[in-house]
Structure 1
Amino acid sequence: MISPDSPLRFCWLWLASALLVISSALHAQENTSITIGSGSVSGVYYPAGASICKLINKGRKQHHIRCSVESSNGSIDNLTQLQAQDIDIAITQADWQYYAYHGSGPFASAGAYKEQRALFSLYNEPFNLLVRSDSAIHGLPDLLNKRVSLGSNGSGDRATMNILMAQSKWDDDSFASTQALAGSHRAKALCDNQIDAFVAFLGHPNASIKEATQTCKAQLIPVVGKGVDNIVKRSAFYTYTTIPGGIYPNNPDSIKTFGVLSTVVTSTELPDENAYQITKAVFENFEIFKRLHPAFAHLKKQNMVKDGISVPLHPGAIRYYKEVGLL
């Protein structure tokens, strides 16, 4: 038996403590979890987050990172949660990424979020205006005195609609009624004749638009005019774009509108190694990623590194991009 005062006993106690610390560190490494804030389940942000998680989890045994995706109200909600450290990664429109970083627009009261860091950008999101076939709506001006879903609170849809409304000096009282619907709820409300139209930034094809066009022959309407021209000219984020015809039933014609890139961002709280492994998981499995959703089909690696990125890249992402020659 080792005496309580024996130096050997203290050696064993020190060794046991050291092993406990090492074991705890290894256990923590094996159980690193990250959460991605996305959007409504019927939109594209949610499957985008799920696709990223799928590729991260594919290599979990090597990098010890487990990924999960959460639904949310969209861009602004995701950035708010990211800043509160409730999630680790946010999918957001490029414009709200910029506004959050600089503390402007809807983030003015929260102040500049200078800890925000970008990983990569994704696909272009057209601004969609979907209307009932009997609504007599043929463009933005026809929304006046109609029943309209302006987008859920905390979404890029609602924030962008506010900008468009300001161009015409409209407010919520300019409509017969307004709702703040998201996902499949807006398609159901449209077909149940509870609203005449809804607006949404969505990549295509989209489940809620498909539901409405199939169920009640809803129509995508061009989003053009002086107000849109002003927004595009004054912003580095918005560009003119076209929704191809034939994607949805009863919508054979191409639709002119404007759009913005979706981006994947995080913060300085994410360790460099984790950011490196997350970026690597997507780019090393790029062809698989492109097949996980039709909105990803035309992505190009070189564009994802720079387009729509208006905040600093995360050092971990930079490390990967330099390794493979993308930077």
Structure 2
Amino acid sequence: MKPAPFGYHAPADLDEALALLAELGPDAKVLAGGQSLVPVLNMRLANPAHLVDLNRVPGLDHVTVEDDAVVVGALVRHAALLSHSAARTAQPLLRQALSWVAHPAIRNRGTTVGSIVHADPSGEMPTILAVTDGSVLLRSAGGERVVPAAEFFVGPMESCVADDEIAVEARFGRFPAGTRTGFTEIARRHGDYALAGVALAVQVEEAGDAGSSGGTGGGRIRAARAGYVSVSEVPGVLDLTPVLGAASLDDVRDRRLADALAEAVAAHVDPVDDIHASADYRRHLAVVQTQRLLSSLAGAAAPDQEVSA
């Protein structure tokens, strides 16, 4: 299939792009990587009268590591962020999740910010933005605003980006020292949309901290949070600290703790039946993946070790 006819615009800078969006309004769509937009156009699920291509706009391809965040510009490709050594060190969940995004050809062209704006609940990066307490910087001809992840996603395939705004960068928060992270998902084929997926961040007491235990798994859990893929309409964060906060990593395989964890996850996710899997099966996958990934994190050699199951 081919898209319906549209006008094509290639602004030379961000101001020109914003002026175009202000003029064209809801009849325009922004094109960056195109790996989400172009298939939708080809299937004629969207029929914009104009495309505003950002690929000639300078200054949008930056990856910056700050004290509290990793900042990713609108034209940063998944593959570039995946291979960025400073970013993966500062926020390991980026690499852990990006390695599951689609296939290499798509990662080479698709943009991380574009995936977030697309707001697909089956996408990995919206969940990572939520789990890291991230935010998105939106800019229009009239100014700019920063929207936290908790307010950015308003429905399946729907974000709060206005017709005249461009998401110029995403900020992924960094975790405190001693945080173990992991990501895993289950799909029919690696690179396909996940039937269910989970991201975990578990902060533990480092060796030498007061009250830390000396088991092979490390100290006690200070805080834990999880985000899920393909099991809810919008990315959300499940605070597991009330379930795990009194436990040590050596205790995470305890049956009572596993049952309490399963109950919390099952109550949090809200999957639906579709042609790929039933809601009950997706819920079961979310529970089992959370338990297994937590167990893997407990077996990590050091508090800052990452796990990608």
| Bucket of the pairwise TM-score, normalised by the shorter protein | under 0.3
Larger Rg: 1
By relative contact order (CA 8 Å, sep 6+), the higher-ranking structure is 1
Higher strand share: 2
Higher helix share: 1
